[in-house]
Chain A
C-alpha cells in the first residue's frame, strides 16, 4: 500500500521534472522578452519584475521583423499549397492502387525526406544566381517541396486508407471517374488530415534556416529565422530585442505543434511507428 503510494509520487515527480526541463527555457525566452536590459543582465536574476514591452517595441520599430514574418508566412503558405496540390493526389494513388513500381516511388519520397539539404542547395544557389532569382521567394517555395511533399504524402496516405472503399465503389457504379471520385468524395472526407499535413509541413518550412540563409539573404526578402541571426553580427547583442523577436518567431510553430501533437512522431518517421 505505502510502497504503491511512494511509487506513484515518484512517478509524478519524474513527470514534473521532465515538464519543468522542457518548459523552463521557453519560459525564460518569454520572460526575457518582457524584461529591460538592466533586468535581463542582473545577477541573481529577478524572479519577479515589472514587465516591459520595450523589447517588442524595439524589435517592431527598426528591425524589419514584421516584414520577415510576412515573408515567412507567404513562403510557407505557398509551399504548403503547392505541396498539397501535388501531394494529395499522390497520396490517393499510393493508398488506393497496388501497382508495379510503387515501392520505388515510395523509396524516392523517403530519399527526398532524408536528403541532406546542402546537396540540392548548391545547384539551387548557382541556378538562382544565373536566373537572377536570388531573394525571390519562389526559389524557397520550390526548394521546400523536398521535405513538404513527402511529409504531406505520408500523412494523407494514412488518411485516405481510412476512407471506406465501399463509398467509392458506389460512386464508381454511378459512373464517376476516378479523378472525380478523388476530388468530390475522398478529398472532402480527409479535410482534418489535410489540416494536419498542412500544419506539420508548414512548421518545417517555417523553421528552415539554411536554405533561407543562402537563397534569400537580402533585408527585404529574408525570412523570420534568418532575421534573428542578423542581430548577432554587432559588438553587443541586443538581448531583449532578440528574445522579443524570438518569441514572435516561435509563437506560430509552437501553437501549430500543439495542435498536431498527436501526429508528430508518426509524421516525422513517415509512418514507421504506429
Chain B
C-alpha cells in the first residue's frame, strides 16, 4: 500500500513531521489518562499494606508481591486459570480447525452462510447471560442437559454442585463460547492458502494428511498463532461468564484469577495485595502484547 509522504522524514518541514502526532495524540492522551495513570497508581499502592476503611497505609516494599506469589488463594486461582487454558485451548483449536475446514469446503452456499453468521452469536452474546443460561441448562432437577443425558441412560449429575463437575461445566461452556472465535480466525487464515497451489498438490497426492501438513499448515501458522495468543488473553481477562455461572464456587473450585483479585479488592478491600496481584497480571498481558507485536506487526506491509 502506498504512503502519502514520499520524502524521507528529515527532509520534511516541521509541520509535516508533527502532522501524524496531531492526529494520534488525542487518543494517546486519553489512553495515557485512563490506562497508564491508573497502572502507576496501582503500582504505587502495591507497595503498601492497606485495607480500605481500616487504618492508614503503611509501606510494605515487596511484601504484597511475596504474599501474592506465596499465598495459596492467588496461586491456586492462577493455576486454575492455567488449567482451564490447558484444557480448553487444544480442544477449541481442534474443533475450530474442523469447523474452519467444513466452512471452507462447504458445497451448499446456504449452509455455509448460515454457519458463518451463527458463529458470531456465542462471541456477541453477553457473557453474564451465558453463565445464567448455563445455570438453567445444567440444573440438576429440571436442566435440559440432565434430561438429554438421561435419554441415553446416564443418571442426573449435580453439575454446579460438585467441585470437579462445576469445573467441567465451566470448561464445556467456555468451549461453546470460544470455539466459534477460533474457527472464524482459522477460517480466515485458511482462505489465505492459494487455490492454485492447493489444486496442484491435489494432483500429487490423494491423501489428506500429507497435503495438510506440508501445504496448508505452513499458510495457517499465523492464524493458529493469532488464535492462541488472543484466546489466551481473552481467557485470562474473562469475568462475566465465569462469575455468573457459579461465583467461584462451590468452595473455590471455579475461582479463577480475575475472580480472586476482584474478591481480594472489593470484598476484602485489601488494596495493597489486590494491587500487587493486578500488577502481576498486567505483566502477563504486556508479555502477550509484545508477542503480538513480534508476530503480527510488521512495518513492511503498512
Instruction: Evaluate contact between B230 and A119: CB separation under 8 angstroms.
Output: no
Instruction: Evaluate contact between A272 and B295: CB separation under 8 angstroms.
Output: yes
Of all chain A residues, which has the CB nearest B33?
A142
Q: Binary interface profile of A, 25-40, with partner B (CB < 8 Å = 1, else 0)? A: 1101100100000001
Instruction: Evaluate contact between B240 and A208: CB separation under 8 angstroms.
Output: yes
Contact of B180 among A22, A25, A99, A123 (CB under 8 A): A22
Contact of B141 among A16, A43, A249, A270 (CB under 8 A): A43
Instruction: Evaluate contact between A89 and B23: CB separation under 8 angstroms.
Output: yes
Instruction: Evaluate contact between B142 and A25: CB separation under 8 angstroms.
Output: no
A74 near B: Cβ within 8 Å?
A: no
B250 near A: Cβ within 8 Å?
A: no
Instruction: Evaluate contact between B133 and A28: CB separation under 8 angstroms.
Output: yes
Instruction: Evaluate contact between B281 and A116: CB separation under 8 angstroms.
Output: yes
Give Cα distance in the complex from A243 to B139, angstroms. Answer: 14
Of all chain B residues, which has the CB nearest A89?
B23
Known: A165-B4, A207-B127, A209-B127. A22 touches B23 (CB 8 A): no
Q: Would you mind naming 14 contact pairs between A and B with Cβ atoms under 8 Å apart?
A: A25-B134, A26-B121, A28-B144, A29-B129, A44-B147, A96-B3, A111-B289, A178-B22, A206-B126, A228-B126, A228-B129, A242-B136, A258-B117, A274-B191
A sample of 15 more A-B contacts (CB under 8 A), given A96-B4, A116-B285, is A25-B137, A28-B133, A40-B142, A93-B21, A99-B9, A116-B237, A122-B42, A122-B274, A126-B52, A149-B30, A207-B127, A229-B244, A246-B132, A269-B185, A272-B292
**Hey, which bits of chain B sit against chain A, CB under 8 A?**
1-5, 9, 17, 19-24, 26-28, 30-31, 34-35, 37-39, 41-42, 45, 52, 98-99, 102-103, 105-108, 111-112, 114-130, 132-137, 141-142, 144, 147, 176, 180-181, 184-185, 187-189, 191-192, 222-223, 226, 229-230, 233, 236-237, 239-240, 243-244, 258, 261-262, 265-266, 271, 274-275, 277-279, 281-282, 284-286, 288-290, 292-293, 295-297, 299, 302
